[in-house]
Structures are given as structure tokens and as C-alpha cells.
A and B are shown apart, each in its own frame.
Chain A
Amino acid sequence: MDFGPYLMLATLEGAVTAAVLALTASGLALVFGVMRVVNVAHGEFFMLGAVLAWWVTSWFEGAAAFGFAFAILTVPLIVGALAALADVTVLKRLSYDPERTIVATIGILYILQQVTLMTYGPDARPVTPPFNTRLALPWVEMTETGLSLYWPWGLSITSYKLAVIAAATVILLALWIVMTRSKLGLMMRATEQDREMALAFGIPVERVYALVFGLGAGLAALAAVLIVPIQQAHYLMGGDPLLLSFIVVIIGGLGSLPGTVLAALLIGLSDGIISVFFSPTLAKILATLLVALVLVFRPQGLFGARRA
């Protein structure tokens, strides 16, 4: 394959990674932004989303598309409810103390991981995508008669991957509208800025916290349901999304939603491109290096405004 088509292929693969990462990291950013809680268990809510998606779709043998639709509607709600429960029973009792909640979410991480190992087992299991047509992609070429389209061998993407990109975009837009235009979003942002004043002005801060923690975990689960037909469900799959989400949230400017999405695009696309042309390991090394540089030279994040 020529360089041009090859780059386009790498970009598309990177865009899938970026889309899923943007969803996952937005959940982490939301929880950190509003609650100032560093949710170390975030990756396990992602893993739980994938494993539950496998479980739910396994009820619908032969009707893969229906099973998948059912999973994408129910699994994020189940995971979100579980997270909200963890908030009320654990984090609330720690008064959302920044240090103690880190330790507590590490505990939640191991509980979720080990319970999954005990029930679901150590195997990686695939989920059938609801649709999976391979679409050949055209490329332009200079010929004597001018520009012409041709279909290079190997330049293709599945319809499902395109759907993942589209779905993530729609969900992120919806999240943005909720945060900026709705009463609920206003409550979350007021709570984020001054918890005590939010309370003094009638905002049920504890319910907002439970909701935000559930929403954050639900976004991770949603991302996992979207990616599991491409990646397979496994009880240890939460590590990478957690690390990458942290990288993205730090680069994006802690807690800022647009910054997080931009950083996810940066990391996801470069991960795709570097992995294709060089190696996935180099991609991770460069991303981690970027975080180190950001932390030293621009601690408010590449896209974040300095916070008071």
C-alpha cells in the first residue's frame, strides 16, 4: 500500500480508539471535576460494561443485533446504578476526602476484578457485532487525465467501526448539551464550583454526587459495550482504559470536558498512527512522555484554563 492510503487506514483505526477513549475519559473527568474524586476503579466499570455486554448478548443467540441493542441500553444503566450504590455506601461515608477516596476506589477496583474472575472466569470472550460489513475505501490518484479515484487493496473499514465513531460523537454531544443547557447540568456545575453554596441554594449535593459517579461509570460502560465487539471481554481489560483516561484527563486539563475530548482525539489518533507505522509500545511511551511534559510545563493541561 502507498503511504497515503496507509495513513488514512491508521487514522481511521485511531479514530475508533479516540472515540471510545473520549467517552471513557469524559466519565473520569466528570467525576474528578464535580466531586474531586480520583476514581481509580474507573477502568473496572469499563471492564464490567464489556463483561455484562457479553453476558446480556449471550441470552440472545442467533439475534446478535437485538441482543447488542438490548445490551447497549441496559448495561450502562446497571453499571451506573452499581457505581451510584458504591458512592452512597463508601465514598459518602469518607466525606469525599481526596486521599481516602483514592484508597477506597482501589479497593473497589479489586473487588470488581476478583468478583468478575470468580463468576465470569479468566477467558476472553467475543461479542458478535450487530452488523459488520467491510467497506472498501477509495483513494485519489494523479493520472494523466487528472485526479481519479481507485480502491487500494487493503484500505477498508467495517461499518461497525464507523458506527462506533458516530455513536461516540452523538453521546458526547448529548453530554455536552446536558452539561451546558439543562437544569441538571447547572446543578452539577454549581456543585463543582462551590459545594457549600450549592447546598445553601437548594441543590441536593449528595444526590448530585451519586448521579455524577453513576454517570461517570455509565459512560465507561457505554464505551466498553461499543468496543467489545472489536476487542473481546476479559476481566483484566480495565487497566489500559484507566491509564489512557488518566493521560487524557491530565493533558486535557483536569475536569474540563472539551479539553478531555480534544486530548482523547490527540492521544487516540496518535496511538493509532504510531501503532500502525511503528509499534504500539512506542505509542504508549510517547503518550506517557507527553503527560510528564504537561505535568511539568503546563499543569493546568494543554487545553485547560488555569483554575482558581
Chain B
Amino acid sequence: MLKLEAVNAGYGRAQVLRDVSFEAQAGEITCLLGRNGAGKTTTMKAIMGVLPLMSGAVRLGKTVLSDLPAHVVPRHGVGYVPQGRRLFGDLTVGQNLEVGRFSQCESESTLEEILQLFPRLRERYAQRANTLSGGEQQMLAMGRALSLRPSVVLLDEPTEGLQPSMIAAIRDVTETLRDQGVAVVLVEQRVEAILALADRAALLENGRMRGVVSGEALRDDPTILARHLGV
């Protein structure tokens, strides 16, 4: 479904990604694994088009996302939950969700669904995003991305710095998305979450691919994770 083909990208003249290729299927969770600085966030930015490619392509079905202007990419159903949440801090919860709905394919509103999924956001609806707690901010970041009814969701360390109950809630949502047939790309550092969730894993090291393995292979051979996460 979502396919990266020999993607090269970087910041200015500093190349970070070198020939990154992997695929994420609908109804699966594809984990993107690598140590700090391996290029996981950079890969996500390359998929979103906010970081222009030096060469290579990002495809979604028949569409070549990397040929489109960045602001058109979400309209093809790609929702992004960035590392560190990156909310529009001075805007309210409701306005953040509204920005998310700018790009939805269907005109029907998904606001009610989002508020049902994250009831806390309903209570905080008129509050400014930068006054929310860390957990609430993560919910809002998820809600904002899901507001466009994505068929692909990119989750960049969605549980960073959260308490266990919040982590469980985020995980529930992730599994629900998978069960609904969404292609989930997940960057995650916690081993137990990776083992529990990954249908397959793309391994990244210093901006290069070190192979793609299945979830079973990961669970059978824990040394793979040890080698690629440095845990």
C-alpha cells in the first residue's frame, strides 16, 4: 500500500536517508526500528513530503506521493502523529481538530467519532493545546491525525514520556486502526510494545536499511532487536 523506493533525503546538503525502501500494508502495523539518530523521524517527514526527496519515490497505491506538493499528501489519506506532538499550541483543542479535518476525503464530519475515541478531548474542547497535560496532548495529536480519516497513519514514538494507562490507551487505538484496515507505520522504542504489535519491522541504521523482518521473526529471535535498538 505505502511503498518507499530507494528514498534518499536529508537536510540541506547533509544526506540522512540512503536508499531507504520498505512497504507498509493495509491492516498491518509496520514498525520502523533504529537507534537514536538512525533517521526514523526523517523517514516520516520524507513520506509526508515536508522534506523533499533527493531521489527515489514514495507511493501510495497508484499515487506517487513524492511527486505531489506536500500540502496535498494528507488529502490522499496520510495522517501524521509527529514525535513530540507538535500541536498548534495557541489554538484550542477544537481548532487543532478542525485543522485535521481540512484534508479529509469525505465531507462528512468525523469530529464526533474522534471525541468518542478520546473523551478527554471533549472535556478540554475549548482549552488551548499548550495548556493540556502531556497525555492529553498526545491524544490530541492522535485525534488531529485521525480527523482526516486516514488510510495510512504514521506514529512517531506516540508513547514517549507517558504513564502506563495512557500507553495502554494509545495502544488500543493503534490496534483498532489496524483492525479497521489502516496501514500503520509505528516508530517505537519499547521492546514489549514492538513485540506485541509489530506485524513486520523495517530496520534502519545510520539512514540505511538493514532489512525487513516479520513480527514472528522478531519474537523468535530477540537478538535482532538487541542489535538494532541497542537495548
A interface with B by C-beta (< 8 Å): 183, 186-187, 189-190, 193-194, 196-205, 308
Question: Contacts of A183 on B, CB cut-off 8 Å?
Answer: 98, 102
Once A190-B99, A194-B86 are accepted as A-B contacts, the answer to whether A199 and B91 lie under 8 Å apart by CB is: no
Contact: B70 with A194, CB < 8 Å? no
Residues B50 and A196 in contact, CB atoms below 8 Å apart = yes
Within 8 Å by CB of A193, from B74, B80, B88, lies: B88
Can you offer 21 A-B residue contacts whose CB atoms are under 8 A? A187-B99, A189-B88, A189-B90, A190-B99, A193-B88, A193-B91, A194-B88, A196-B50, A197-B86, A198-B88, A199-B49, A200-B50, A201-B80, A201-B100, A201-B102, A201-B148, A202-B72, A203-B102, A204-B71, A205-B71, A308-B130
* A190-B99, A197-B82, A308-B130 given; A203·B71 CB < 8 A: yes
Distance, CA A193 to CA B144, complexed state (A): 15
6 further A-B pairs in the complex, CB-CB below 8 A; given A187-B102, A199-B71, A201-B74: A186-B95, A196-B50, A199-B50, A202-B72, A202-B103, A203-B71
Interface, chain B (partner A; CB < 8 A): 45, 48-50, 69-75, 80, 82, 86-91, 95, 98-100, 102-103, 130, 144, 148
**Contact partner of B69 among A196, A197, A198, A204, CB < 8 A?**
A204
Question: Contact between A190 and B89 (Cβ–Cβ < 8 Å)?
Answer: no
- Per the bound structure, the CA–CA distance linking A308 and B74 in Å amounts to 27
Report the minimum CB–CB distance from B60 to chain A (whole Å): 15
In angstroms, how far is the closest chain A Cβ from the Cβ of B122?
A: 20
Chain A residues with Cβ under 8 A from B88's Cβ? 189-190, 193-194, 197-198
Q: List B contacts of A194 (CB < 8 A).
A: 86, 88
Q: Are A200 and B82 in contact (CB under 8 A)?
A: yes
Contact status A202-B89, CB under 8 Å: no
Chain A residues whose CB sits within 8 angstroms of the CB of B45 once the complex forms: 196
Determine if B148 and A200 form an interchain contact, defined as CB atoms under 8 angstroms apart: no
- Are B71 and A189 in contact, with the CB atoms below 8 A? no
Contact A308 B71 (CB under 8 A): no
Residues of A with C-beta under 8 A to B73: 200, 202
The complex places the Cα of A187 from the Cα of B96 at a distance, in Å, of 11
Residues of chain A with a CB closer than 8 A to B69's CB: 204
Q: How far is the CA of A199 from the CA of B88 in the complex (A)?
A: 12
CB <8 Å contact, A193 and B89: yes
